[in-house]
A and B are shown apart, each in its own frame.
Chain A
């Protein structure tokens, strides 16, 4: 199985900050990497698919990059509604494993 490792596990930042979260796969997954945002008590929401494609309706301050084993999610200017937990997921091969999550908190 492919293991997905996110870093950091938690992050404190302020409104307006630029934030980067990284995700590493245990083997190459090409660009089959997705990013989700989850708020407490809610289902996750797809932000980025295929490593860098912005899902419809998602603000352009979210961006993704990477290929192979190393990926990043960047939020260019944090907004109050962005404080949440973020997960990466590989969809290259089953099981389509998730990273352990990164909790983004207000500083």
Chain B
């Protein structure tokens, strides 16, 4: 059974840093495109970042230069390092699998982890 379990969310001050983790099971992280999506309170979905099987990474303009996506294949874990956090980064962050078979439709999602950026 495929499972994605995020952790690492919490309250952080503006300008601070946080690292989110996503533990995957039931499939191989390195053989899939892995994505982060966020949702601010009461708002819609916002695509944040993706890491491809070959290691290429891409980011939304809103987080480029501040966030870094990475993975540890041996730990079956995806990460999102978030630096220089702003109030507008407050959101639930979802780890997800973008299915190659489904033309990168996101077929599995974690439960989400809440990040609150506030002083």
Interface residues of A (CB under 8 A from B): 1, 31-32, 34, 36, 38, 43-46, 48-50, 53, 55, 85, 87, 89, 91, 94-101
Interface of B is mostly: strand
Is B1 among interface residues, defined by CB-CB distance under 8 A? no
B residues 9-41 near A (Cβ < 8 Å) are 35, 37
User: Quick one: closest B residue to A47, CB to CB?
Assistant: B105
Give per-residue flags for B78-119: 1 if the beta carbon is below 8 A from chain A beta carbons, else 0.
000000000000000010101100111111011110000000
Q: Do B106 and A95 touch across chains, with their CB atoms under 8 A apart?
A: no
- Give the chain B neighbours of A89 by CB distance below 8 A: 45, 47, 105-106
Within 8 A of A (CB), among B46-73: 46-47, 50, 58-61
Residues of A within 8 A of B59 (CB): 95
Closest to B62 in A: A95
19 pairs from A and B in contact (CB 8 Å cutoff): A31-B103, A32-B103, A34-B103, A34-B104, A34-B105, A43-B112, A44-B109, A46-B105, A49-B103, A49-B105, A85-B44, A87-B44, A89-B47, A91-B103, A94-B50, A96-B35, A96-B50, A98-B46, A98-B47
Residue of A nearest to B98 (CB): A91
Other-chain residue from A50, A53, A55, A96 in contact with B47 (beta carbon distance below 8 A): A96
Residues on B with beta carbons closer than 8 Å to the beta carbon of A97: 47
Bound: A53/B101 CA distance, A:
11
Cβ-defined partner of A43 (8 Å) among B47, B50, B104, B111: B111
